[in-house]
Amino acid sequence: MFNIRFTIVTPKAKISERNSNIVFFGVIMLEEMSVHVSTAVWSKTLETNPVFCIAVTIVAFSRQKFGIIHVYNFQVCHVWAIGFGCYHRHVLSSSVIFMKGLYKIMPQQFVVCLQTSLSHRDYQSEAKFASAINKYIEDAIKQEPELEKQDSNAIIVFPEMIGMWLFIASIKLPSMFFTYCNNHLIPMLYVTVMNLVTIITMFIKEWWILDRKKQTRKSPTLSSSYIMGNLTRCLFKYNADLVLEIYVRVFSSLARQYSVYIVAGSIVLPKLQLHNGQVRNTEQGLYNISLTFDPNGNVCNIEYKQYLTQEELDIVDVYIPEKQDNQHSSFETEVFGTVACLICADGWYPSCYQDLMKVRPDIIVNPSLSIPGDEWLDPWSGYSAWQMPSDVQVDDLRKISLEEAWMKYSSPTRARIIPSVTCTVLCQGILKLWDMTGNGRSCVVIKRGDEVIVTEAPNHLDSAIIVCKL
């Protein structure tokens, strides 16, 4: 989780490559005072004797200031620099005093995967949505009380498209649609009729002006799937500003309230512009986007889905990164190191992980949702809309289930090719919007040296909360 640049002053050290054994005995000279560690420090001695681990003290100094870095190994492949105190021409002699505030300085870290189960009633209003989301966080705290006591030491991950359906809250549908309606197309038709001129104008603009000039989606033909997709696209763009406001307000408030990082699933919106922790709708295109909120409630990361499914291609645009050398975003944290996000199907493609190797993430989060919801245990039909990677075994098609394919070909397995990754979160959700359903089974994979620990949700049909200590 950190990179230490140093020069060995006392040569009593055994040093090998990254993620290998490194045991320090003696003094090191820091080349940089701002220490950001991501090099693995581990040994059989530390593994079998954690007391010895706590007792290891490295005396470090720079050109003008002295201090002590106390190294404590919370897990394999992580070294933590705790409480670096600077003193002019003076070195603290007692590591015992240093250790008194150890857990206050570096609290326990958690990743929380919330496999939410939401229906159209949870999207009836902003208040109902906020209450439903808050309830899951409260239940996670009941499951692990330390979550409430610590400060900025948890990353909470929500499923893909959890914000997409805030479109329902933004238009304030009459209550009869939540009581008697059983088809998701009826509310869409209602909104179209009530705003007929605006929607038709948007439809023509999207089909003729935009699609004919810029091929970011499938070729504009007046097929039934394209008409329905473009109509859906217009409806999502119709109230995009208000949807964004609700989405940011809810998750920003919760991140600030609980002092945690929140990866807020994903939402369908035009391209966003990030400035000083705030986002603005640019009204350009329509994308599947994931926002991450920091403990202060500010947006610290924006990720765009690139490998769209066949169903999505009729509605949202294929995102083309502005910087080809860095196609996926990541963000830095003081506690967790580098965190990267891949949205749903992006986690199935090796090219995404090859790109992430450049930033060497410590944690990869993968908000996902499988639609329709009745295919999770069915035979896997293969990749959707994009060419199947060369490492996929063709014999698995129609042989293994969709659930098995998720575990074999998406983030729980593929993320392991990046040496720096110690935790992968695949967060699925359960969705029931009138007759539209989606589900999936979440899991958290933690790597400690050669040991891989997989924690799965009980099933793909019910909500679940996975809390893992790092």
DSSP 8-state symbol, 188? H
Dmax over CA atoms of the chain, in Å, equals 78
**Helix spans in 361-445 (H):** 402-409, 411-414
For residue 125, the Cα-to-chain-centroid distance in whole angstroms is 25
d(CA 428, CA 461): 10
d(CA 97, CA 113): 36
**pLDDT in single tens digits along all 470 residues of the chain:** 333 333 333 333 332 223 323 333 333 333 333 333 333 333 333 333 443 333 333 333 333 333 333 333 333 223 333 333 332 222 322 232 233 333 334 568 899 999 999 999 999 999 999 999 999 999 999 999 888 875 558 999 999 999 999 999 998 889 999 988 999 989 989 999 999 999 999 888 877 765 555 554 555 556 777 788 888 999 999 999 999 999 999 999 999 999 999 999 999 999 999 999 999 999 999 999 999 999 999 999 999 999 999 889 889 998 988 766 567 889 999 889 999 999 999 999 999 999 999 999 999 999 999 998 889 999 999 998 899 999 999 999 999 999 999 999 999 999 999 999 999 999 999 999 999 999 999 999 999 888 999 999 999 999 999 999 98
Dihedral angle sign, alpha carbons of residues 144, 145, 150, 155: positive
Contact 307, 368 (CB under 8 A): no
Contact 367, 263 (CB under 8 A): yes
Contact 155, 365 (CB under 8 A): yes
Domains of the chain: residue spans and CATH: 2-105 (no CATH), 110-469 (3.60.110.10)
d(CA 358, CA 326): 8
DSSP 8-state symbol, 335? T
DSSP 8-state symbol, 205? I
The predicted structure's pLDDT at residue 220? 52
Per-position b or e across 233-271, b if 16+ CB within 10 A of its CB: bbbbbbbbeebbebbbebbbebbbebbbbbbbbbbbbbb
pTM (2 decimals)?
0.78
If DSSP codes are grouped into helix, strand and coil, which group holds residue 334? coil
Contact 129, 122 (CB under 8 A): yes
Residue 320 token pair? 């083309």
* Long-range contacts from 380-385, C-beta under 8 angstroms, 24+ separation: 380/404, 380/405, 383/348, 384/309, 384/310, 384/311, 384/345, 385/307, 385/308, 385/309, 385/310, 385/313
DSSP 8-state symbol, 207? I
Which residues neighbour 238 within 8 Å (Cβ) at sequence distance 6 or greater? 191, 195, 198, 199, 202
Beta strands in 140-269 (DSSP E): 154-157, 261-263, 267-269
User: In degrees rounded to 5, what are phi and psi of residue 397?
Assistant: -65, 130
Residue 107 token pair? 């609290």
If DSSP codes are grouped into helix, strand and coil, which group holds residue 433? strand
